[in-house]
């Protein structure tokens, strides 16, 4: 039970989903971002100036329909991934309707989630709303996430990993899938919970994790089942 309590303090956890994830690798077996990813920008750097500019851009988007999407994207779950990506796939992704795709996403994203743990713990970067002492789009999330490092973004790791995985299930719609995955990460900048560099770094982390899970025979086996299920649902041969 203690382990389950600690995991949300790293990257956000998928343990609250209906299906219990069965990761393909443990956290220590995943690529360690500390060895390949540069640290977060220093306060007096050009990179941080860009982060600040993007933070201000995000605030300008909050009163728009894009801001409402960012509010909805604050949900970190496979259910939210299903809501975002189902229209692109042309089928309803759910535990009941597409159990093989659901299991693929549940197990794979739990595994990729591990890949940002080391950097989050080490850097414990303060989030934008903490630095500027300004409200976010989701006030209820501010206190819990203040104890969670900002760099890299766990939400972005989830969204980008999901997009990459689904591109293997439905390569014909890869561009639209990647677009949705990209925007899920940008929602964190708009909401005020992440710097742009957190989001950019998370896409690198997700890519590294995506490569790692391809060395798992269990992942490749489940991917095959998910593809077959998708073709059946979409009547593709």
CA-nearest of 56, 233, 213, 62 to 139 is 62
CA-to-CA separations, 132 to 136, 138, 146, 159, 232, in angstroms, rounded: 11, 16, 13, 26, 50
Residue 214 annotated as catalytic:
no
CA-nearest of 74, 79, 81 to 192 is 74
**What distance in Å separates the CA atoms of residue 161 and residue 113, rounded to the nearest whole number?**
9
Catalytic one among 125, 127, 188, 212?
188
Residue 73 annotated as catalytic:
no
Q: How many CA atoms lie within 13 A of 115 on its CB side?
A: 32
Catalytic one among 194, 203, 212, 227?
194
Residue 181 and residue 155 in contact, taking contact as beta carbons nearer than 8 Å? no
Catalytic one among 170, 198, 200, 227?
198
**What distance in Å separates the CA atoms of residue 140 and residue 56, rounded to the nearest whole number?**
21
Residue 194 annotated as catalytic:
yes
Catalytic one among 54, 125, 155, 227?
155
Residue 198 annotated as catalytic:
yes
Residues with a known catalytic role: 155, 188, 194, 198
């Amino acid at each position: 039970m203690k382990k389950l309590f600690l995991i949300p303090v790293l990257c956000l956890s998928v343990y609250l989903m209906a299906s219990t994830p069965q990761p393909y690798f443990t956290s220590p077996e995943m690529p360690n971002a500390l060895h390949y990813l540069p640290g977060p920008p220093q306060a007096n750097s050009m990179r941080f100036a860009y982060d600040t500019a993007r933070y201000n851009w995000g605030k300008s988007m909050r009163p728009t329909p894009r801001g409402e999407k960012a509010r909805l994207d604050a949900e970190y779950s496979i259910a939210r991934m299903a809501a975002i990506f189902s229209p692109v796939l042309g089928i309803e992704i759910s535990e009941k309707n597409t159990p093989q795709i659901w299991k693929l996403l549940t197990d794979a994203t739990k595994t990729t989630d591990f890949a940002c743990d080391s950097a989050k713990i080490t850097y414990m970067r303060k989030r934008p709303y903490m630095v500027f002492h300004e409200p976010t789009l989701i006030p209820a999330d501010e206190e819990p996430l203040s104890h969670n490092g900002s760099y890299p973004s766990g939400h972005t790791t989830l969204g980008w990993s999901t997009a990459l995985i689904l591109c293997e299930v439905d390569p014909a719609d890869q561009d639209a899938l990647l677009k949705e995955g990209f925007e899920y990460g940008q929602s964190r900048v708009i909401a005020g919970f992440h710097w742009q560099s957190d989001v950019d770094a998370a896409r690198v982390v997700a890519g590294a994790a995506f490569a790692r899970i391809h060395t798992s025979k269990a992942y490749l086996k489940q991917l095959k089942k998910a593809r077959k299920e998708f073709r059946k649902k979409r009547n593709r041969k």
